[in-house]
Amino acid sequence: MKLFTKSLRAVDLVLVSRPLEYGNSQKTKREHMKNWLIAVAVMAAVASPLKAGDVTGKVSLEGDRPAELNLPLDPSCGAAFKKFNPGKKPKTRFYVSEKGGLGDVLVVINGIKGGKAPTKPHVIDQRGCEYLPYVSAAQLGQVIHVLNSDPALHNVHTQPREAGNAEKNLAQLPNGPAIKFDYQKAERFLKFKCDVHPWMYAYVSLVPHQYFAITKADGSFSVKDVPPGEYEIEAVHRKVHTGANYKGVKQKVKVSAAGGKADFTIKLQ
Partner 1 sequence: MADAPNNKALHRFAVLTALTTLALIGLGGMVTSKGVGMAVPDWPTTYGQNMFLFPVGQWVGGILYEHSHRLLGSLVGLLTAIMACWFWGRHARGYAKWLGFGWVTLGLGLIGVRTQGAFVALASVSLLVVIFCAFKLRMAKEPIMWWAMLAYSLVLIQGTLGGLRVTQMKDEIGIIHGTIAQLFFLLICVLALVTSRFWKRVSEQDSVEVGGLRKLFLGVSLVILLQLVLGASMRHQHAGLAVPDFPLAYGKVWPKTDAKFIAKINRERMDPREFNEITAGDIHLHMTHRLVACSILGLVIWCCIAARKESKSPLLVKGADLWLGLICVQAILGASTIWSNKSAEIATLHVATGAICLVWGGLLTILAFRVSRVVRSDQPPGVVVNPEDRTNGVDPLLVSVPTF
**Contact track, partner 1, 147-186, x by CB under 8 A:** -----xx-x-x---------x-xxx-x-------------
* C-alpha gyration radius of the chain: 25
Interface with partner 1 includes 201 (CB under 8 A)? yes
Per CB under 8 A, the list member of 47, 117, 178, 196 interacting with partner 1 is 196
Q: In this structure, are residues 103 and 239 in contact, taking their beta carbons and an 8 Å threshold?
A: no
C-alpha 195/C-alpha 156 separation (Å) is 8
Q: Please state the φ and ψ torsions of residue 8, each to the nearest 5 degrees.
A: -65, -40
Count of residues that bind partner 1 according to CB under 8 A: 33
Three-state DSSP at 220 gives strand
Helix or strand holding residue 54 (H, E): strand 53-62
State in angstroms the smallest separation of the CB of 58 from partner 1. Answer: 21
State in angstroms the smallest separation of the CB of 66 from partner 1. Answer: 5
Residue 197 vs 216, nearer CB to partner 1? 197
Which positions from 89 through 128 interact with partner 1, judged by CB under 8 A?
A: 92, 94
State in angstroms the smallest separation of the CB of 9 from partner 1. Answer: 56
Three-state DSSP at 35 gives helix
> Which residues neighbour 170 within 8 Å (Cβ) at sequence distance 6 or greater?
155, 156, 157, 179
Q: In this structure, are residues 238 and 190 in contact, taking their beta carbons and an 8 Å threshold?
A: no
Residues that bind partner 1 (CB under 8 A): 66-72, 74, 76-77, 92, 94, 152-153, 155, 157, 167, 169-171, 173, 193, 195-199, 201, 239-240, 242-243, 268
